[in-house]
């Protein structure tokens, strides 16, 4: 991860099509993250205009601290949803492009607030 020091506000996503839609069709603050099927998809970009997500497999949770492994990266904004869905399937089936251990801080999106929550230029 480029930004393991970020505290991410995590929103649970209910389905694979919903996850593909939120990743490929929207811009989110740099602290945004999504949880689906024991993975976090964490915005690890430098700018909201060019989002890049780190897929993060959850090994353990201790309060707000999450121990896990970065398993892949995707820059899905503007992509068709099918390749985004395939990326998520690849992560679930352990077809990982990397396996780097990290400890990050994550909060529920309804509880999260930080300096990154507002878009650049707001």
pLDDT tens, residue order, the chain (122 aa): 999 999 999 999 999 999 999 999 999 999 999 999 999 999 999 998 899 999 999 999 999 899 999 999 999 988 999 999 999 999 999 999 999 999 999 988 877 777 777 644 44
Would you state the pLDDT for residue 108? 85
Would you state the pLDDT for residue 20? 96
Would you state the pLDDT for residue 113? 78
Would you state the pLDDT for residue 118? 63
Q: Are strands 100-108 and 65-74 parallel, antiparallel or unpaired?
A: antiparallel
Q: Which three-class secondary structure state does DSSP give residue 83? A: helix
- Listed by start position, the domains of the chain span 7-108
Predicted TM-score (pTM) of this structure: 0.91
């Amino acid at each position: 991860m480029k930004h393991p020091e970020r505290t991410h506000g995590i929103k649970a996503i209910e389905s694979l099509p919903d996850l593909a839609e939120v990743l490929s069709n929207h811009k989110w603050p740099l602290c945004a993250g999504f949880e689906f099927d024991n993975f976090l998809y964490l915005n690890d970009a430098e700018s909201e205009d060019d989002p890049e997500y780190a897929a993060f497999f959850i090994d353990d949770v201790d309060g707000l601290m999450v121990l896990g492994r970065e398993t892949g990266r995707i820059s899905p904004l503007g992509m068709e949803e099918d390749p985004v869905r395939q990326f998520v399937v690849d992560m679930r089936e352990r077809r990982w492009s990397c396996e780097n251990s990290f400890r990050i801080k994550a909060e529920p999106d309804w509880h999260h607030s930080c300096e990154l929550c507002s878009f650049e230029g707001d």
